[in-house]
């Protein structure tokens, strides 16, 4: 594999990135990498509730459609993120008043309108995102609080709208959180017993150079043992998780990050081919990472491409080592 030019060439599954449509429009380097390096795209934000369904009677598919058109142009797959989440809900949803039936109608209409709009064009959906707390309990949310069994219902509604779409449960931080992992595995078993449609598990993999290799391998193995498709869905490897203002990206840190990227790819390689949905990075270049914007960590360098959209050393090392 040492002679390949692109990482995607040595992979037998899609290599993805989440993207920001504004950067696709404004930044030529970003756009070039999004099309040349990646074979699967996820909207970083624009298919989330607040953005895609800003008012009760209005959906806004404009930015999602832009990403879809860009992907089509580059023959990339599109992964849908995310139909149901406790975060980035619309204001009108937070203000909504109604009985259980009204809440169910709201959520069912939300899910089915979006899934139908993109029917046949999106390979898979993160149907529910981050439903469990670290202790394995169901996370309180608009949906959990108003709709009994909302997890199963969401999957049933999505499946009705597009029976061919692969339906994922997506979550973060399974590594080192056995209770959370157990809750996810229990949900899968329960769905199987009740014949609720679920096809995949997304492991976000927002990890750091301090994450423990054994714990990462273990949760990938446990997820794979369900027989479902596996998506490492939001990969970034933080190098400065404590936001040290004097942080320097030296060669020791670079090596540690490169090793973590390799661990993710080699662990993924152990998954049976039929279950390998893909590996998706959470954006393209270090500058674009949510760890800088959302968490306000200016000295964070979590991705495979640097601030100037150049391949990091870790990129070539992946080609050599995996
Ligand atoms: C993040 C985006 O990257 C940010 O731009 C936004 O402000 C907040 O959400 N888990 C998820 C993603 O499933 O949707 C989140 O994305 C990161 C954590």
**Binding site membership of 44 for ligand 1 (Cβ less than 6 Å):** yes
3 pLDDT tier (thresholds 50, 70, 90): confident
| Closest CA to ligand 1's atom 4 | 290
Q: What's residue 1's pLDDT?
A: 58
Taken in order 112, 117, 123, 124, the sign of the CA dihedral is: negative
Determine whether 225 is exposed, middle or buried from the number of CB atoms within 10 Å of its CB (0-12, 13-18, 19+): exposed
How far away, in angstroms, is 282 Cα from ligand 1 center? 9
CA distance 156 to 245: 47
CA distance 79 to 31: 18
**pLDDT > 70? residue 2:** no
**Binding site membership of 290 for ligand 1 (Cβ less than 6 Å):** yes
246 pLDDT tier (thresholds 50, 70, 90): very high
4 pLDDT tier (thresholds 50, 70, 90): confident
| Closest CA to ligand 1's atom 15 | 44
**pLDDT > 70? residue 52:** yes
**pLDDT > 80? residue 63:** yes
**Binding site membership of 223 for ligand 1 (Cβ less than 6 Å):** no
Give the residue, out of 44, 46, 64, 174, with the most ligand 1 atoms within 8 A of its beta carbon, to mutate for a pocket test: 44
Three-state helix/strand/coil letters over 105-120? HHHHHHHHHHHHHCCC
How far away, in angstroms, is 113 Cα from ligand 1 center? 22
Active site residue ranges: 130, 234
**Binding site membership of 12 for ligand 1 (Cβ less than 6 Å):** no
Output 17 or 1, whichever has higher pLDDT: 17
What whole-number percentage of the chain has pLDDT above 90? 99
Digit-coded pLDDT (tens) for 107-141:
999 999 999 999 999 999 999 999 999 999 999 99
SS3 content of the chain, % helix, strand, coil (to 5): 45, 20, 40
CA distance 279 to 42: 11
The full set of domains in the chain, from first to last, is: 7-321 (3.20.20.80)
How far away, in angstroms, is 237 Cα from ligand 1 center? 15
Atom of ligand 1 nearest to the CA of 290: 3
| Closest CA to ligand 1's atom 9 | 45
C-beta of residue 205 within 8 angstroms of C-beta of residue 171: no
If you average pLDDT over residues 195-204, what whole number do you get? 99
Mean pLDDT of all residues belonging to the chain: 98
Give the residue, out of 52, 170, 290, with the most ligand 1 atoms within 8 A of its beta carbon, to mutate for a pocket test: 290
**Binding site membership of 175 for ligand 1 (Cβ less than 6 Å):** no
């Amino acid at each position: 594999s040492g002679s390949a030019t692109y990482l995607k060439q040595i992979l037998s599954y899609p290599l993805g990135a989440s993207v920001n449509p504004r950067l696709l429009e404004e930044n030529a380097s970003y756009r070039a990498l999004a099309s040349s390096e990646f074979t699967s795209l996820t909207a970083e934000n624009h298919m989330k509730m607040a953005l895609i369904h800003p008012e009760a009677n209005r959906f806004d598919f404009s930015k999602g459609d832009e990403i879809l058109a860009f992907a089509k142009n580059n023959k990339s797959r599109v992964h849908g993120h995310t139909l149901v989440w406790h975060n980035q809900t619309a204001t009108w949803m937070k203000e909504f008043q109604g009985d259980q039936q009204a809440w169910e109608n709201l959520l069912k209409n939300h899910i089915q309108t979006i899934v139908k709009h993109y029917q046949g064009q999106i390979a898979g959906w993160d149907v529910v995102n981050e439903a469990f707390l670290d202790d394995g309990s169901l996370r309180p949310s608009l949906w959990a609080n108003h709709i009994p069994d909302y997890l199963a219902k969401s999957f049933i509604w999505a499946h009705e709208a597009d029976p061919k779409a692969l339906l994922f449960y997506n979550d973060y931080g399974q590594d080192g959180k056995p209770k959370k992992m157990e809750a996810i595995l229990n949900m899968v078993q329960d769905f199987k017993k009740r014949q609720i449609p679920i096809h995949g598990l997304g492991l976000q993999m927002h990890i750091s150079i301090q994450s423990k290799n054994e714990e990462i391998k273990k949760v990938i193995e446990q997820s794979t043992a369900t027989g479902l498709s596996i998506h490492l869905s939001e990969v970034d490897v933080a190098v400065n998780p404590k936001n040290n203002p004097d942080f320097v990206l030296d060669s020791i840190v670079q090596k540690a990050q490169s090793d973590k990227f390799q661990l993710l790819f080699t662990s993924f390689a152990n998954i049976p081919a039929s279950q390998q949905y893909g590996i998706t990075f959470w954006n393209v270049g270090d500058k674009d990472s949510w760890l800088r914007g959302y968490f306000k960590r200016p000295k964070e360098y979590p991705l495979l491409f640097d601030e100037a959209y150049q391949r990091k050393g870790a990129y070539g090392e992946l080609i050599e080592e995996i």
